[in-house]
Structure formats: C-alpha cells, structure tokens
Structure 1
Amino acid sequence: MNLHDFYFELPKELIAQDPLEDRSSSRLLVLDKKTGEMEHKLFRDILNYLNPGDCLVINDTKVIPARLIGSRKNTGAKVEILLLTRKENDRWEALVKPGKKARPGDIIIFGNGELKAEIEEIIEDGKRIVHLLYDGIFEQILDKLGEMPLPPYITHQLKDKERYQTVYAKHEGSAAAPTAGLHFTKDLLKNIKDKGIEIAKVTLHVGLGTFRPVKVENIEEHKMHSEFFWVNKEEAEKINRCKRNGGRIIAVGTTSCRTLESCADENGIIKGKSGWTDIFIYPGYKFKIVDALITNFHLPESTLIMLVSALASREIILNAYKKAVDMKYRFFSFGDAMFIK
C-alpha cells in the first residue's frame, strides 16, 4: 500500500488555529464504517449515539509544558529544547534547536538560572539526552518556564494552557494532547455516565512520533516510535465486562485505540499491564477489541489517517474527508470530530 493512497487536498484555512470557547460545540461527522453513510451534528450530540452498556475508553495522560526557550551559557545564543521522554535521574530524551550547535558538554540556561540543561549525548534521529539541573520541585519550575508544545501547524499563541488539556487529564508525561478528548466537558461526561455508559481510563503518553511524517513510499516499511502506556486491572475489567455483556468498546482517540489494541489478546481480552508500544495500524489490520472510534480529522498521508482507514476503509474515509472539506469542517488538533461507528 502506497503513501499517496492516503493523500487528500486540504485548504490551509481549514486548519483550526484556536480552540472553540465551548469544547462540546465543535461539529461532529457521524460515519457508518460499513455503509459510508454520514450525518452532521454537534459534538454534544454524541450522547445520542452511545448506548447503555457501551464502554467509552479515554486516555487520561496530561501534557507537560515541555517547550523550553533558553540560552547557551557561553555565548548567550537562543536555544529551544523540547522534552520528549523522561529517563532516570532527571535525564530526558529531547529535541534541541538549533541541533547542530548542541554538543555534549554544552549548558543551556532557562529563566534566571532556576533550570539548566547539560547536553550529555547525541542519539538517533538527531535527538539528545539532556540532564536537567535545578533546586526545588521540578513540576513547579517547568510550569513556570515551559510552554505547551503545540503542533507545528498551529501558529497562533495559546492563551490558556488548559485548553490543550482534556478535562480528565491526570498523569503527566505527554508531549502532545490526545486531541479527540478535547471535545468533552465535565457535564457531557456526567450525562454519558448517567445514561449507563461505562467510562474506562487508560494512559498513553503521546510522543512527537504522532506528528512525524511517513517518509517511505511503501507504508509497511514505516517504523513507529515507541510510547509508554499502562492499563490497571480495575479499568481492564470494566472493558472486559462490557465486551462480555455485548456492549461496544468505543475508543476516544487514536491513542486510546492503540493502547487497547496493544493490550488485547487474540480473544479480545484486556489485561492490566504497562510497557512500550510501537503498534502501527493500517488497512488490513484486524481489530481485536475496538468497535468504534471518536477522533479528529487528521493530516494527509499520516499514520493517523491510516489507522482510521483500517477501522472503516480507505475509500469510505477519504470520501468522508472530501465531504468534510466541502462542508468546511475544522481540521487537526483544535478542529472538529468524527465518530466512526
């Protein structure tokens, strides 16, 4: 299967630059994955498409303000560090710009010196291992000095950091938000629970692999970056109970979907576990547990549009995307949503 099979024309003006004031007022394209039939609603109408006994699976990861702007100790030159994955003893895997001048031994200073980063080594894809030096509580220092690592296609300044978090974000560690969850409000989640729909939580810390372009023509040669996840036993049992009773497992976002498919055995049973996943889902993949998906509109030729094309079909997805473009739906992280049922 070729990369260009997942291309579609997207006018730049349809890339959402700002979140809506009311999270649940975004538009919702409801897509039947078997017939391709479409309905056009508001996101809060998702309640009408969820049935008692279904299980909604959300990713409760929390984005950290991982973008740090500092200067080199010796020269004062501006340096940007994007923290990706926390290792041990305050060591992080990170992206550094400009990378060519970030050599082992260099010291980067942030703020008034409350935080420093020593470049320790250069690793694959030009990334660095950096050792962070500080006095006090790291999370407080990062919250003061760091910025939200918005995707490169968002050029507007984010006025409120919380708008790039889901209302249920809990476990810090993501370099990007699980954006399908941004549409939910606390009131909408309460209404969903009151209707008899189970809500189960999983955690996958989203890495920047989400935004990395596929560079190979044959998509089967693409290698996904690993991301850390965990599912505890209690949440796994909620999901398994729903499946046993004939309910649907509805993943909120591609990250929840990938977590579930990484944890499920061949019989569609979830076990409480943690680890790293580099699962790559594209057409031809046989889903083990996910029945339906709430998701945003994704980039052309991305691994995310390949995943949704595996759940429906490439033809049905591209036809729905064409309709979304024609109807001027808002695309990407702060954009509108799709429910593939």
Structure 2
Amino acid sequence: MTREHSGAPGGASRTPGDRMSDYDYTLPPDRIAATPAARRDESRLLVLPRGGPVADHLQFRELDTLMAEGDLLVVNESRVLPARLLGRKPSGAAAEVLLVRPLPGGELRGVDGRGAIAGVDDAVLWEALVRPGSKLKPGRVVEVADDLRVEIEGPAPGGGRVVRLVTERPVAEVLERHGHMPLPPYIDRGDTPSDHTRYQTVYARTPGSIAAPTAGLHFTDELLGRLEARGVGRAAVSLHVGIGTFRPVETDDPAEHPMHAELYHVPEETVRAVAATRERGGRVWAVGTTVVRTLESVAAENGAIRAGSGSTDLFIRPPWRFRVVDGLVTNFHLPRSTLLMLVSALAGREAVLSAYETAVREGYRFYSYGDAMVVPPQRSSPPLAP
C-alpha cells in the first residue's frame, strides 16, 4: 500500500525540516551500543513530550508509570530470521550471503494469516545481498556447511542476487543451525549465541524480518505483566523489516528517496482493540516506528484501522497528521534517517534534535542495542469519528 506524504508539494519554498540535512546530529562513536544492557528493562528511558523539552530520565522498567488504565500498547510480533550465511567459495576465499526475502519463481511471497512470510520452511529461492559482490556472479557457489550450499542464480534489483539454497533439510531448520543474526553494520563484531535471544523481542512470533524492531527489545515478561495488571491492553501487528533498513538515504530531498516496501499483517483482534480503546478514551501507544508505519498505513481519516495483509512504503515525515498513534516508544536513530524524520513528525524536529543532544551529553547509548525514548500522548484519545 502506498500513501503520499501530506506535506507541501514540490517547488514549495524552503523551510526548516524539508531536507535530510535538517535531521543531522553529531554522535561520538563510543555512544553506539555494541551489546545490550545486562537486563532488557535496565535500559535508560528519556521522556520527551511533544514539542519538548525533555521531561524526565527513567529506566525502561518504569514505562508502566507513564501509562494509564484503558490505554493500548501495540507491538510488532515479527521475528528476525538468522539470515546471514557465512561460507567459502570453491577457492577457499570467504563469502557472505544475507537472505532478504523468499522468491517463489522470482516473485515476492505473500504473508500468511499470522503475518509470517509464507513457506520459509520450503523456500529455496531468495533475493539476497552477497559479499564480495564482484566475485559472486551467476553460476558461482558458496559452501556454508556439509548440508547447505548457496548457488548464485542471477541479478536482483539494487545490486543484489537471486540465490538458491541447496539442502535436503527444511530451510528454517538449516537457517537455525547455520545462520547468523543479521546485526546492523554499525555493530562492529560478529554475532554470539546470546544475540539469537537478545536481538529478538520476548513476544516475537512470526518469522520474516532481517533486522529487529528494536524498540521492543527492552520489554520483559515481568514489565508486560505489570502493564496488564495496570489495565493496559496489548495488541499486535507484524511488519517484517526489510532491506530498506540497510540502505542509506542518498538524496537531500526526502521526496526523492525511494522507500522499500515491507510486508505487514493487521489481525481483526487488533482492529477491535484499537476501536475499543478509542471508545473508552484510552490512548494508543506504538512500540517502535514499524508499528507506527503499519497502523498509519491502514488507517482511515477518522482513525479507524482495517485488518488485512499487504505491503507499505509509507514515508512519514513532517508535517504528518497522525490518525491512530498517540504515544511512541522508540530507540535513538541514525542521523539523516527516515526513522528520525518519523519521530520528528510526532514530537517536533527541534525538540527531537535537542533531546538527542541531551542524550549524548547524559551518556545514553544509541541505536539497536542502546537506550530508549518515549513520546507520551498529549491527551486522552478521542472516540472514533462516525
């Protein structure tokens, strides 16, 4: 599904916030978290009201104190695939294959009823990124293990490859056995066994992502239990994080940046939960930018959402009128990124950049394994309009 940005049309006069360079900031390298906190909910939590300034510094386990009975927490249940395959070419030289999405007959697979990419168990043809790209031409082979090799079939858009997994075992099984977690490139280390747990949310169910929906990494079962006891509801969507998370923004004009489409699924029970929350005056909290994009992609003008599966390339940036989301739990994002623009659309660009400066000064840890930020709702959520 595609929705146009609701800002000024092309050719409008230059205003602060309409260029990617307006979302730049300086981050010392030692602020990038290479490992997670000892315990998920021991991460720090910066509280930024819409429009700023920073209101408080908490630990993530105190998130429940910001939420009220009748509120709704919406999470992304997508599960990260161990999609990074390390092997060798017949010459013995090292090679790497990052599986991006399965391709039955060269076409994108749809999603099943729960939002998972259908047929991962038997998907042998994939779109992938390979390294070294100059050496892995069609016809080349990467030996991963005795029971798994990767054959390069042909080119794919964006410099990728179509690859075939050759194995006698179910694909999901060999990925779990030989695959590595696709940690972001700014985490300058190989994955460890603990990453298979910590680079996954505690509620992850539906396999399909090649990067974690990182805002959810801070939640523990205990925190979720306290939220439930407080009367906060929980609903789920799936949005499978795709190759766009690895692609830098290469233009200063956001309108010229092509967003990669990502698969989503919104179940009927989530539609009912959002509607019930609106009717009782509760607030809808999104855990992460993936949830924001999913909910806003399926929203009508009156804030009602619809169930179903599809794909979205929605690019949320200032100015954007949020139809569903009232509050946001998120991590700290890269400079000049579409995710930073999304957060700025909710909290205000100047407020967000000022909060990031505060976070750097106060020693917060950034990016996937770093600390978190919350943008609380401004008010009670109004009932759905007729």
- Scaled to the shorter chain, the TM-score interval is over 0.9
How far is the alpha carbon of 1:150 from its aligned partner? 0.3
Count residues in correspondence.
339
Cross-structure match for 1:118: 151
Cross-structure match for 2:316: 281
Give me the TM-score of the superposition, normalised by structure 2.
0.86
Q: In 2, distance between residues paired with 1:307 and 1:34?
A: 14
| RMSD of aligned residue pairs (Cα, Å) | 1.2
Q: 1:33 aligns with which of 20, 29, 50?
A: 50
Q: 1:137 aligns with which of 150, 170, 176?
A: 170
How far is the alpha carbon of 1:105 from its aligned partner? 2.0
How far is the alpha carbon of 1:35 from its aligned partner? 4.2
Q: Deviations over 1:264-307 (max 9, x none)?
A: 11111111111111111111111111111000011111111111
Cross-structure match for 2:67: 50
How far is the alpha carbon of 1:20 from its aligned partner? 1.1
User: Quick check: 2:124–2:171 contact (8 Å CA) kept in 1?
Assistant: no
Q: In 2, distance between residues paired with 1:56 and 1:87?
A: 33
User: Following superposition of structure 1 onto structure 2, how do residues 261-276 of structure 1 map, counting pairs within 5 Å?
Assistant: 261-276=296-311
Q: Which moved more, 1:144-153 or 1:27-36?
A: 27-36
Q: 1:24 aligns with which of 41, 45, 51?
A: 41
Secondary structure, aligned partner of 1:56:
strand
Cross-structure match for 1:85: 101
User: Following superposition of structure 1 onto structure 2, how do residues 1-341 of structure 1 map, counting pairs within 5 Å?
Assistant: 1-73=18-90, 75-88=91-104, 89-112=123-146, 114-159=147-192, 160=194, 161-341=196-376
How far is the alpha carbon of 1:208 from its aligned partner? 2.9
Secondary structure, aligned partner of 1:265:
coil
When residues 297 and 266 of structure 1 are mapped into structure 2, their CA distance, relative to the original with a 3 A threshold, is same
Unmatched tracts of structure 1, length 5 or more: none
User: Quick check: 1:216–1:222 contact (8 Å CA) kept in 2?
Assistant: yes
Secondary structure, aligned partner of 2:134:
helix
User: Quick check: 2:237–2:291 contact (8 Å CA) kept in 1?
Assistant: yes
User: Quick check: 1:38–1:320 contact (8 Å CA) kept in 2?
Assistant: no
- Tell me which amino acid in the other structure corresponds to 1:340: V
User: Quick check: 1:31–1:39 contact (8 Å CA) kept in 2?
Assistant: yes
- Tell me which amino acid in the other structure corresponds to 1:119: I
Q: In 2, distance between residues paired with 1:158 and 1:96?
A: 18
When residues 14 and 35 of structure 1 are mapped into structure 2, their CA distance, relative to the original with a 3 A threshold, is closer
Give the fraction of aligned pairs with identical amino acids, expressed as a percent.
Answer: 47
Q: In 2, distance between residues paired with 1:227 and 1:94?
A: 15
Give me the TM-score of the superposition, normalised by structure 1.
0.97
User: Quick check: 1:18–1:158 contact (8 Å CA) kept in 2?
Assistant: no
Q: In 1, distance between residues paired with 2:191 and 2:228?
A: 31
User: Quick check: 1:282–1:309 contact (8 Å CA) kept in 2?
Assistant: yes
Q: Deviations over 1:155-185 (max 9, x none)?
A: 1344301010000011111100000000000
Secondary structure, aligned partner of 1:82:
strand
User: Quick check: 1:26–1:336 contact (8 Å CA) kept in 2?
Assistant: yes
Q: In 2, distance between residues paired with 1:264 and 1:86?
A: 28
- Tell me which amino acid in the other structure corresponds to 1:126: G
Secondary structure, aligned partner of 2:316:
coil
